[in-house]
Structure 1
Amino acid sequence: MNMSRRMMVSSAFAGAVMPRTAFAAAPRQIGWEDLIPKGVPYGEIIGPGEIDEANDRWLPEFDANAKKLNKALHGAYIKMPGYVLPLDMSSGGVTSFIMVPYVGACIHTPPPPANQLVFVDTKAPWPSDQMWDPVWVTGIMRHEMQSTSIAEIGYAMTAEKIEVYEW
């Protein structure tokens, strides 16, 4: 079959403007250490702090490094593990949460620094019977400093996919 020049140009143009879902890049898998900018040692983020004897809590002392974010992650398509600290729930499950690096963060202990917390919202609720399971969250990472009654949060993402973390 002979293809005319017009058909070839039309086919090339259609291929160039077609949605690229079939060719979508795989998410970059990151860990919690990747949220801290290069050259900022974790040991310099948290100072000695003090004990709140009245409430029997340790109050960490964060320095300026606690709010330093990894600028290379802004807009990156990532997949990272963590734990769910629910903020908004419906009968279908958790629709927004703070992703934390370890179970119990922000509940039984003082919150981690802002550059170790990610605010996550999702259209597909995460089942409330799986809140204590570690999860993988996939989506676009953003720098977005937020202050909540629980903690200051340095990152945000809308979850494209949430799944149980398999060891």
Structure 2
Amino acid sequence: MNEKLLHPIACAYCLDRNAGTDLTPLNASYGSKSNANRRSAFCGHVFKGGEATYSCKECACDPTCVMCYQCFLNSAHKSHRYAVSRFLNSFQKVKMWASSGNGYCDCGDVEAWKEHPACKLHEVRRSEEQDLQITDVPAEITEQVEMRIRSLTRIILRFSTRIICWRDESALPTFLK
């Protein structure tokens, strides 16, 4: 998938045949500062089957709002009433049940939590939030990049829609011949 789909798209966006599957060269081409060292405001850890998930009964918007172990340990929720999903038994006030996996950690998602949306590892401090709003790329370059991305995205979506909707499996579409 990387070689056949993501690499060509990244190359088109970056105007560089040697681009990887990310858009880092686009940052470098236009003098944008890379934020690779900045901590993310979201955890996004993907759970494996049977892995423990933690949901705060006091702060989660619903029972599907969960944190991974590391985020839970570094959050205010560890001193609240909480549920752990993993095994089929009960222990103290902690209800446990089988986790099927494939969900992700909601740490940092303000829509998932009534209070304390992020742990200490993922909280974005005020100065970092302000940094995110400041661009170091000249406006005319930003406009050029935006126009290129919009144009390429439109072409990619149109092409993808045509391929997905192509009904004749025995022949290539005429636009591919």
Q: Compute the TM-score of the two structures, normalised by the length of structure 2.
A: 0.22
In terms of Rg, which structure is larger? 2
Q: Compute the TM-score of the two structures, normalised by the length of structure 1.
A: 0.23
Task: Give the structure with the higher percent helix.
Answer: 2
